Copies of this chain bind each other. A is one copy, B any other.
Amino acid sequence: MHITSERRLDDGVLEREFTLGEIPGILWTPASASASQPVPLILLGLPPLGLRAMYPRLVERARRAAADGFAAVTVELPGGGDRPRLAVLEQGRADLRRAMQAGEPVGAEIVDALVLPLVELAVPEARATLDAVLALPEIGGPVGYSGGVISIGVRLAVVEPRIVAAGLFAGSLVPRAIVEEARQVSIPLHVLLQWDDEGNDRQASLELFDAFGSKEKTLHANMGGHTGVPRFAGEDAAGFFARHLNARHLR
């Protein structure tokens, strides 16, 4: 892990850009974090539209995490942002775009061809990011996962024991294999669903929520379209992480 730049935001949060091998990422830590008082970590779901394009939304969530005493980290997705394009994903994205622009229902084979390789590529990188960040003396775990591509969140929740709670954004472009995998998830979940999301099928989102094996799972459905998540929904999600990351941290 190589820090490439570092600055303090006005609220005292330390923002560090880094590269992990070829992967660019950003780490935010609250002013309070230190080797003697290491803080829990939230992995902000890898940004599907690219780190730079999604920076304003990411930094807002990172500031909120810091206000609650948590560090936050995110990295660029495979093939995303300024990273080298990957043929398998480019083909999948083109097929998806074509179907959506034609107003056709997006078939399972298009979803599988794009999302399954993305999950396979992204999950090991996310876990390597945790290895690197948790090695820093001021970051102590446990880890929460928040947002991003929901299929990646499902796989991480199944395979990564350091993640103890996940806040997910409901989406419907989820391969059937991932819905099946969701039955193995057992950590507490907080799922946000935009009820009238123009880009997602509501019924498919409800089916995915139903599939999760977790004993504690909560669905928060709100109005406002795909990008219209209301401010108070962010407050409720912050409460979820405060409950699950602080409780373990203080043990």
Contact = CB atoms under 8 A, between A and B. Distances in A.
A243 B218 CA distance: 21
Interface in A216-247: 216-223, 230, 232-233, 235-236, 239-240, 243
A217 B209 contact: no
**Oligomer copy total:** 2
A210 interface: yes
Q: How many A residues touch the partner, as a band?
A: 20 to 34
A206 interface: yes
Contacts of A216: 223, 230
A220 B219 contact: yes
- Interface secondary structure of A, over-half rule: mixed
B209 A221 contact: yes
Contact of A215 (B206, B209, B223, B240): B223
B239 A210 contact: no
A224 to B, nearest CB: 9
